[in-house]
């Protein structure tokens, strides 16, 4: 096996592979397979996150070599330019790397392990294509709702792909942790007839997006679900993660429209800027009192044509906002103020709508006039 390529490109490929290796857990058994196929070098690693990165070669001789990531990673630490060349020994147990105009040499040792190739979907498997900027924004606007800090119950990222009446595919990303739900929907170009649902671990999903990291925001990322894995492909990068064996029927009902804004018995519409500012002021007062945990929650007190925002122990203080209200006014409840602010700031409209289904149900935010942004949260405490 031999190859020659640009050092900086090679270093970048190792850094990308390293993102997957680090999430899989670096140890002495973390390995990377280098395989030359014509004028392409493939670096691949496997585990909870499978990743393949391709590097174009100026010269190559087919073959493969498995090396520990810790050895290979030294090339991502060196700030070299120019070319790097590699050739394996006659017995295939060593790989000599030459760089810095041939004045520097590193010898890698083959790791004698069975390398399981990174899974790929079947060639005819339908896929969805979504611009990277859109995908990255959707993840940023939902992933904050999947937090292990509060609960492990229901923790996951729920992806749903369904046919739209306009001939597109609607891709919905729903992140949840048992207390909160954040959902974004975008419309994607389809390649093949595909609908389906999959649930994946949030941390691995975030790493997946980080690995894909398209240099062109308008470039399409191919998303495929096949054989119990979620796949993403862009240019010379291929990433896959396993799906979770879970079912969230309540979330599915939400996506299908059986619950949510149409089921709300009360709704209140307020100015988004006033809402965010009022919560920030309440948070400041609570911090001054030394409140923490549940005691740092923001109270939403719903009234006719008005929303009052206060906090535990703040009987003499409250922020009042003029509002449009519909339905029977519910009892006050206490919520995580950071989530309320985050969801409100993401919503692209000047006004937000908060809906309440019932006394023991979560509140719904931003469910007024755009089904592309939906957030809901369970109260921390009720009066």
The whole-number pLDDT of residue 75 equals 94
Topology (CATH level 3) of domain 127-255: DNA Polymerase III; Chain A, domain 2 (3.10.150)
Entry pTM = 0.83
The whole-number pLDDT of residue 372 equals 79
- Pinpoint the residues of the chain covered by CATH 3.10.150.10: 2-109, 127-255, 261-382
Euclidean distance between CA atoms 296 and 104, whole angstroms: 59
The whole-number pLDDT of residue 340 equals 92
The whole-number pLDDT of residue 197 equals 77
The whole-number pLDDT of residue 261 equals 57
The whole-number pLDDT of residue 254 equals 58
Q: Is residue 344 within 8 Å of 307, Cβ to Cβ? A: no
The whole-number pLDDT of residue 368 equals 54
Which residues on neighbouring strands pair with residue 181, listed in sequence order? 176, 376
Spans in the chain with pLDDT lower than 50? 150-151
Euclidean distance between CA atoms 52 and 232, whole angstroms: 11
> Which residues, at least 6 apart from 337, have a Cβ–Cβ distance to it below 8 Å?
279, 282, 283, 296, 297, 298
Q: Half-sphere exposure (CA, 13 Å, Cβ side) for 110?
A: 18
Topology (CATH level 3) of domain 261-382: DNA Polymerase III; Chain A, domain 2 (3.10.150)
Please report, rounded to a whole number, the percentage of residues in the chain having pLDDT higher than 70: 89
Domain 2-109 falls under CATH 3.10.150.10:
yes
Euclidean distance between CA atoms 316 and 313, whole angstroms: 9
The whole-number pLDDT of residue 24 equals 78
Euclidean distance between CA atoms 287 and 207, whole angstroms: 34
> Which residues, at least 6 apart from 278, have a Cβ–Cβ distance to it below 8 Å?
309, 319, 321
């Amino acid at each position: 096996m031999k190859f020659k390529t640009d050092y900086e490109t090679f270093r970048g490929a190792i850094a990308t592979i390293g993102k997957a290796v680090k999430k899989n857990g670096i140890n002495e058994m973390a390995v990377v397979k280098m395989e030359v196929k014509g004028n392409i070098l493939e670096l691949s690693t496997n585990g909870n996150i499978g990743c393949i990165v391709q590097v174009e070669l100026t010269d190559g001789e087919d073959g493969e070599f498995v090396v520990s990531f810790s050895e290979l990673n030294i090339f991502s630490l060196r700030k070299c330019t120019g070319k790097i060349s590699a050739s394996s020994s006659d017995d295939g147990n060593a790989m000599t790397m030459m760089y810095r105009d041939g004045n520097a040499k590193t010898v890698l040792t083959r790791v004698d392990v069975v390398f399981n190739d990174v899974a790929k979907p079947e060639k005819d498997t339908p896929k969805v294509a979504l611009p990277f900027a859109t995908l990255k924004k959707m993840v940023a606007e939902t992933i904050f709702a999947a937090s292990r800090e509060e609960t492990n119950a229901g923790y996951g990222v729920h992806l749903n792909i369904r046919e739209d009446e306009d001939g597109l595919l609607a891709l919905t990303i729903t992140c949840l942790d048992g207390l909160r739900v954040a959902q974004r929907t975008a419309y994607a170009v389809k390649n093949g007839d595909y609908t389906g649902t999959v649930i994946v671990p949030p941390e691995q999903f975030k790493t997946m997006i980080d690995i894909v990291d398209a240099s062109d925001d308008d470039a399409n990322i191919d998303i495929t679900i096949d054989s119990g894995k979620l796949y993403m492909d862009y240019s010379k990068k291929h990433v896959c993660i396993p799906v979770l064996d879970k079912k969230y029927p309540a979330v599915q009902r939400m996506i299908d429209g059986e619950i949510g804004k149409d089921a709300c018995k009360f709704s209140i519409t307020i100015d988004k800027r006033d809402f965010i500012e009022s919560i920030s002021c309440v948070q400041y007062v609570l911090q001054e009192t030394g409140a923490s945990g549940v005691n740092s929650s923001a109270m939403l007190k719903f009234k006719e044509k008005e929303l009052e925002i206060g906090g535990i122990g703040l009987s003499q203080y409250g922020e009042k906002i003029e509002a449009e209200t519909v339905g029977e006014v519910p009892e006050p409840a206490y919520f995580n103020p950071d989530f309320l602010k985050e969801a409100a700031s993401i919503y692209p409209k000047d006004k937000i709508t908060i809906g309440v289904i019932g006394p023991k149900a979560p509140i719904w935010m931003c469910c007024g006039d755009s089904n592309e942004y939906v957030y809901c949260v369970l109260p921390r405490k009720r009066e």
